[in-house]
Amino acid sequence: MPLRETRGSDLIGPDGTSLPGRPIIYYQPFTTTDLLNWKHHTPAYSEKPQVMTDLMESIFQTHQLTWEDCQQLLRTLFNNEERRRILQEARKWLEEMAPGGVTDTGRWANEAAPDKRPDWDFNTEEGRSAIRRYPEAILRGLRQGAKKPTNMSKTADVTQDSEETPGDFYERLCEAFRIYARFDPEAPENQRMVNAAFVAQSAPDSHRKLQKLEGFAGMNITQLLEVANKVFRNRDSVAKREADKRMRQKATLLAAALQQNTNQRKTVGQTRDPGQPRRMLKKDQCAYCKEMGHWKNECPNWRQPQPRSHPRPTPPSEKEPEFIGLAGIDSD
């Protein structure tokens, strides 16, 4: 804790008895580890103002802060524009909270939230009151500075991701309503609007299931989350069934295509069904082209087989004698 309380040295009473010393408050600053831990594990104020506001409120409740401590937190956790907006809203709140006898509320607010280190004595009631009031003013500034102009269309941009749980999606949706619609999404009067957005902007499978619920806009959000969570958990089995169905459809189409291809090959490869009798030709019908007016041997499309050619005998060489039987043999 930046401010800590301890007791001073024991006192000796008039009668010589020892008396406990009075309480003394001393200062112990934040460590660098504390500041870096808060900075790296907390979303930026501009992105998620409620998360940062909750952190600051927790620090204010568990620590007795000085003006220097508050400045250190503002410099570490916020940028220049955020600090300016927070302090501006804090001073507006202080002006409204100024005591009744104060005529210049603006000056009083500036002194209660000064830009320079004030001379507040921790060991006096007045100093402790000022120290308590300053963090409270900053907390008010945090809440007011987080508010942006109403823009309901921004809430419609928040949709559930395919791998996002319904609970996480609901938290993001509520945060969007806090930032852009500037109302409490968990308040009873806003329940119907938030429920309608939750159903409309859920993932397609959850949306189909939720919109079938009669009167879903008036239901408790716990009931809607229960249905959405059931759909989310069964998503893998549904996807598997859909994949199996598509595979069966593809197999059926492939089998039909193969059967059609087989039938076409059969039609091309044969002139008639083997089980059917041969058709009789008409009187003047060609047996080859099936046209009328001529026969097969007269068909212009019919190529008659050529007679087989036999090799011509080689004439006897003039140099070789020709023998005819035994008549050509000289006898001695």
pLDDT mean values, one per 10 residues, the chain (332 residues): 50 57 62 89 88 93 88 93 93 93 92 92 86 94 81 90 94 90 88 95 94 92 95 77 77 81 59 61 82 84 64 55 48 44
Domain containing 84: what range?
3-145
Q: Does any domain span residue 256? A: no
**Within this chain, do residues 116 and 211 fall inside the same structural domain, yes or no?**
no
How high is the pLDDT of residue 331? 44
**Within this chain, do residues 134 and 156 fall inside the same structural domain, yes or no?**
no
**Within this chain, do residues 126 and 208 fall inside the same structural domain, yes or no?**
no
How high is the pLDDT of residue 269? 46
Contact 177, 194 (CB under 8 A): yes
Q: Does any domain span residue 316? A: no
Q: Does any domain span residue 106? A: yes
How high is the pLDDT of residue 111? 93
**Within this chain, do residues 7 and 122 fall inside the same structural domain, yes or no?**
yes
- Overall domain count for the chain: 2
Q: Residue 50 is part of a domain; what is its CATH number?
A: 1.10.375.10
How high is the pLDDT of residue 329? 46
How high is the pLDDT of residue 65? 86
How high is the pLDDT of residue 294? 84
How high is the pLDDT of residue 298? 84
Q: Which residue has the tokens 């009151």?
A: 129
Cα separation, 219 vs 213, whole angstroms: 9
**Within this chain, do residues 96 and 187 fall inside the same structural domain, yes or no?**
no
Q: Residue 184 is part of a domain; what is its CATH number?
A: 1.10.1200
Contact 162, 203 (CB under 8 A): yes
How high is the pLDDT of residue 315? 58
Contact 150, 180 (CB under 8 A): yes
Give, in degrees to the nearest 5, the angle at Cα 63 between 62 and 69: 145
How high is the pLDDT of residue 267? 54
**Within this chain, do residues 23 and 105 fall inside the same structural domain, yes or no?**
yes
**Within this chain, do residues 230 and 127 fall inside the same structural domain, yes or no?**
no
**Within this chain, do residues 50 and 138 fall inside the same structural domain, yes or no?**
yes
Q: Does any domain span residue 67? A: yes
**Within this chain, do residues 11 and 56 fall inside the same structural domain, yes or no?**
yes
Cα separation, 56 vs 42, whole angstroms: 11
